[in-house]
Amino acid sequence: MKLTCRNRVLDVGAPVVMGVLNVTPDSFSDGGRYFDVDAAVEHGLRMAEEGATFIDVGGESTRPGAAHVSPAEEVDRVAPVIERIAGRSPVLLSVDTSKPEVMSAAVSAGAHLINDVRALRACGALEAAAKSGAAVCVMHMQGEPATMQVEPRYTDVLAEVSAFLAERAAACLAAGIEASRICVDPGIGFGKRFEHNLALLAGLPTLATLGFPVLVGVSRKSLIGMITGRPAEHRLAGSLALAALAVERGASIIRAHDVAETVDAVKVAAALMRGAGQKGA
């Protein structure tokens, strides 16, 4: 399976890792450690050296209760980081945003993929993404970040998330975004309870049948804390276990904070799958 990212074509037949780079003062996972541009650039380059295929740069936290950021401020946060990493590394760059102004500025700075937790539903987002030539990732989220975990409800979470992602992919196609530029994300932890997240992870093979690369982000999330009882900074082992299982179930892109370790876990899971395929051939 191929993913077209502007002037680059990525083979995601073998799963890859997307490194998380939050240039925010209030991220749940790193608490603003990379809010400074120089620190963010160096961390992004370090993740690229560790084996990340993508660096996902985000300038607005999506955790419940996070402060709103204006489009201009978000551009000021992400564009310099993207531009400087692009000038020093061939790594693919992603921008984590829902605002069309930020999408356009980030792609002009060098971004190859637009990663949108709101699935390009903001006014003008589809048009900006289509015009950019970048790949897009559309994610499912029930509600809005500020309130998404208050009382999420589903009748059949896998069927509902699958239908939503299919609808958003169809909207992308209708807007002129080619199928080869689209990937989908079930949005683990975004408007889902514990049991919803587990059902979606178990049902990844169903989401893979949509025909688009599936991105999964489970790194350090509260789901792992609920299982292990550990705080965010001590959830590496759980994150790696879920990353490997997601790959085994059909995920093509694993979004992670701990890149070197996740790259190893993904390689091992992919090798086991290749071995099982060869044995059955």
255 among known catalytic residues: yes
CA 91 to the chain's CA centroid: 16
3 CB-near residues (< 8 Å, 6+ apart): 9, 10, 12, 135, 180, 181, 183, 213, 252
Report CA dihedral (251, 256, 262, 266) to the nearest 10 degrees. 10
Q: Which of 77, 118, 181, 255 is catalytic?
A: 255
Tokens of 157: 């979470």
Alpha carbon distance 207, 129 (integer Å): 23
89 CB-near residues (< 8 Å, 6+ apart): 44, 45, 48
- In 3D space, the residue among 100, 94, 186, 88 whose CA is nearest the CA of residue 134 turns out to be 94
* CA angle, residues 104, 109, 115, in degrees to nearest 5: 55
Contact 260, 190 (CB under 8 A): no
Please state, as a whole number, how many other Cβ atoms lie within 10 Å of the Cβ of residue 52. 27
Alpha carbon distance 111, 229 (integer Å): 37
Q: Which of 84, 192, 221, 235 is catalytic?
A: 221
Alpha carbon distance 196, 188 (integer Å): 8
Q: Which residues are marked as active site? A: 221, 255
